[in-house]
Structure 1
Amino acid sequence: MANRVVVTGMGAITPLGNSVEAFWEGLKKGKAATAPITKFDASNSKVKLACEVKDFDPQNYMDFKTMKRMEPFAHFALAAAKEAIEQSGLNMENEDPYRVGVIVSSGIGSMQAHEREQVRFEKAGKIAPMYIPLMIANMASANIAIQYGMKGINTCVVTACATGAHSIGDAFKAVKYGDADVMITGGCEAAVCKTGVQGFAALTALSTNEDPETASRPFDKDRDGFVIGEGSGVLVIESYEHAKARGANILAEVVGYGATCDAYHITSPAEDGSGAGMAMIIAMKEAGIKPSQIDYINAHGTSTHHNDLFETRAMKYAFKEDIRNISINSTKSMIGHVLGGAGGVELITCVKAIQDGFVHVTAGSKESEGEMDLDYTFIEPKNRNIVYAMTNNLGFGGHNASLIVKKFEE
């Protein structure tokens, strides 16, 4: 028999704040964290803005030796995991370590390590001994497990911008079908560096708008690309029976997951929205609900021309006329695109939206166009009772993921 899967802890390191509450309060205020890039000299770059994590000291979350054996993407993940585990009240001394797993993934790993070691090699003909274990994307999951002694399932899902959502989906399935009692899951990224920004800029994926208030404006007629962000969102999910047995406080219930591939193009979503739309349909089928029961969608909403148009088509494909009654927004309007970290941060947003009955504004966006005629929560946030919330993420390569969370009821 399948287990019910519940959320018992959440942690976030974001450009709006380095805790879930700071992040959520920032979203409620509706002001973007977009600002001039400080992590490298961007004076000669066409792209001058990013959403950077601020006032973050890894040593507030780990000892110096541990910190030195990680790159920023893993620092963010371990810090977010610490908050989530502490909120959940999970005590590994009371757990079978082989029943507690970790899937916290990065879409890229450390581009900073690549940059640094390339320079070192060209100058001295040497590479630092720790280059590979610092750089590879699975080290977020690995370091969380090492820190807490979690010996169960430990993998790293890499599907570009859908990385975090697919990680949570796989963790959800592991708990649902009894392969684990508890999973620490989510995503992380730290690609605000020269090669990260210039790489996306070369694809013409990034906004060249120099106004921090409007650089990221998902679903707006004047959108011109995404603003790169960084950070991590991590959740503790576990079976309802396990959570109940240990007296955990349950925040929400994960009820559906859909994953598909467009099999169409390496960077563009399918133009008719069918791939992403089918992921939404599959998630609703698993949740056992009708399209009319979804109250809120946290859209992928990157602020690129293709994504926002084709994602709108995908939502119409999945929901038909019921989409007219659903509140939609994009968290990326305020924290930029956290890439592999987006899925974790945006599912946390869904849980907080359910708890507070609040749909944050899609900041910076004012007027849509043509087919993009849905309720994207422009101008003002709204208060709304939310029972079911969906979050969508679409990754380069045509990777689609949809997750559904529900207001918890015994």
Structure 2
Amino acid sequence: MKRRVVITGIGLITPGGSSPEDVWQTLLHGQSVAQSITSFDATPYSTSQAGIIEESEPFQPFSRRLLKRMDRFCCLAMAAAHRAIEDSGIEFQHREAAGVYIGNMYGGWGVTDPSLRNLLTQGYREVSPYVASAWFPTAPQGQISIHWGLKGQSKTIIADTASSALAIGYAARAIEEGRADVMLAGGAEAPITPYTYTFCSNSGRLNPAGYRVFDPEGRGFLVGEGAVLLVLEELEAARRRQAHVYAEIAGWATGYLPRAENLWSDEGKKLASLMTQALRQAELEPDEIGYLGLDAQGVQAADLAEAQAVERVFPGEQPLATSCKPTLTHLLGAGAAAEIATALLSMQHDLIPPISAHPVSAAHMRLVSEEARPAQVRNALIHARGADGVQSAMVLRRMAE
């Protein structure tokens, strides 16, 4: 019999706030937090708007010496891990059974970008000695493990915008199978550098008109920096220490749709099959789901495929659906973790935040827009997709008081 996995801590460092309370208030207002990039000239790019974290308070628990050695995406991950551990109240008594799974897309270009420029213009002596380790996508995994002395399961997952969904799913699986007792899991991203922003802009996934989901003119999203880490525990261990439990990870499935099949033209069949698998694992029927956390890419074809997947799984009355991304911006490798955290906060507050403060509608979907909707959510289904074909669906179950 597999062990049950619950979430006992949330760490959020986002453009919309650096605590669950602040982020929740931002989500309730539904206004995009995107602002003009000022750290470099972004006018040549497809858009100069992004989600930016301006406060330095989240980094205060760490020494300047340590922060200097890390890229910004790693600093964000460390700060989110600190908040999640603090929120959970966990003490790592058996560090061999505690680990970290974390996802990102781009790694650390905040250090690498200027160092490469210095190398070309001023010579090798002007290159930061920390570049070799700071840029690496696995840096947060290593720094978190070192800082908190975690000696158990440890992985970095890169799966485009589905990265953190897979990190959380695989972390839960490690606990289910007895390979871990406690896991930190989520994602981190810091794409607001000239080099990384070039990737984003040239991909054609940024929308000059803003983040417009389920819109016939939808051409993409707005990116943001941030990190979201969750504390996952085995249920009985959490109960023994009387921890607050946000929800149980009741089901999870992931799969791959080869790009050769034209990613968004399968009419949502692959995503629908994964949603069905996750429901089956959770031993739930579709009509028992009260909340849908959407991928909401903001690309017309992608949003249509998502709507078709939802219609396949929920042919009758559909659950209320929302997404935090139009408000917080798309945190890329941390975006799916932000959606999961939003679902957890909705369960806490018996409210579903709007996908936008402006009217949004989609055929065959019950989108929450303009204002929050009261709802006692017992079960939530959150899905994520990456542009290279990785897809994921997760079911969260609210625990009885």
In which range does the TM-score fall when normalised by the shorter chain?
over 0.9
Out of 256, 260, 269, the position equivalent to 1:261 is 256
* Whole-angstrom CA distance in 1 between matches of 2:215 and 2:370: 11
Whether the 8 Å contact between 2:311 and 2:364 is mirrored in structure 1 is no
Aligned residue in 1 for 2:143: 143
Distance 1:9-1:3 versus aligned 2 partners, 3 A rule: same
Q: Secondary structure at the match of 2:245?
A: coil
* Whole-angstrom CA distance in 2 between matches of 1:68 and 1:342: 26
Residue 383 of structure 1 pairs with residue 374 of structure 2: yes
The 5 Å alignment of 1:52-131 reads 52-57=52-57, 59-92=59-92, 95-126=93-124, 127-131=127-131
1:43-94 CA distance string (max 9 Å, x none): 33331211111213464131112111111111111111111101111112xx
Aligned residue in 2 for 1:212: none
* Whole-angstrom CA distance in 1 between matches of 2:61 and 2:18: 11
Aligned residue in 1 for 2:304: 309
Whether the 8 Å contact between 2:222 and 2:329 is mirrored in structure 1 is yes
Whether the 8 Å contact between 1:103 and 1:157 is mirrored in structure 2 is yes
Q: Secondary structure at the match of 1:321?
A: coil
How many angstroms does 1:182 deviate by? 0.4
* Whole-angstrom CA distance in 2 between matches of 1:266 and 1:158: 21
Q: Secondary structure at the match of 2:336?
A: helix
Out of 370, 377, 395, the position equivalent to 1:404 is 395
Whether the 8 Å contact between 2:30 and 2:370 is mirrored in structure 1 is no
Aligned residue in 1 for 2:315: 321
Whether the 8 Å contact between 1:17 and 1:54 is mirrored in structure 2 is no
TM-score normalized by the length of structure 2: 0.95
Aligned residue in 2 for 1:153: 153
Whether the 8 Å contact between 1:233 and 1:343 is mirrored in structure 2 is no
* Whole-angstrom CA distance in 2 between matches of 1:267 and 1:48: 29
Out of 269, 273, 283, the position equivalent to 2:268 is 273
* Whole-angstrom CA distance in 1 between matches of 2:298 and 2:103: 23
Distance 1:294-1:58 versus aligned 2 partners, 3 A rule: closer
Distance 1:284-1:25 versus aligned 2 partners, 3 A rule: same
Residue 287 of structure 1 pairs with residue 278 of structure 2: no
* Whole-angstrom CA distance in 2 between matches of 1:340 and 1:353: 22
- Runs of 5+ in structure 1 lacking a partner? 210-214
Letter in 1 for 2:311: K
Sequence identity, in percent? 26
Distance 1:132-1:396 versus aligned 2 partners, 3 A rule: farther
Q: Secondary structure at the match of 1:156?
A: strand
How many angstroms does 1:124 deviate by? 3.6
The 5 Å alignment of 1:194-209 reads 194-209=194-209
Letter in 1 for 2:300: H
Distance 1:113-1:267 versus aligned 2 partners, 3 A rule: farther
Q: Secondary structure at the match of 1:160?
A: coil
Q: Secondary structure at the match of 1:140?
A: helix
How many angstroms does 1:278 deviate by? 1.6
Whether the 8 Å contact between 2:11 and 2:83 is mirrored in structure 1 is yes
* Whole-angstrom CA distance in 2 between matches of 1:201 and 1:347: 26
Whether the 8 Å contact between 1:30 and 1:360 is mirrored in structure 2 is yes
Letter in 2 for 1:120: N
* Whole-angstrom CA distance in 1 between matches of 2:176 and 2:380: 19
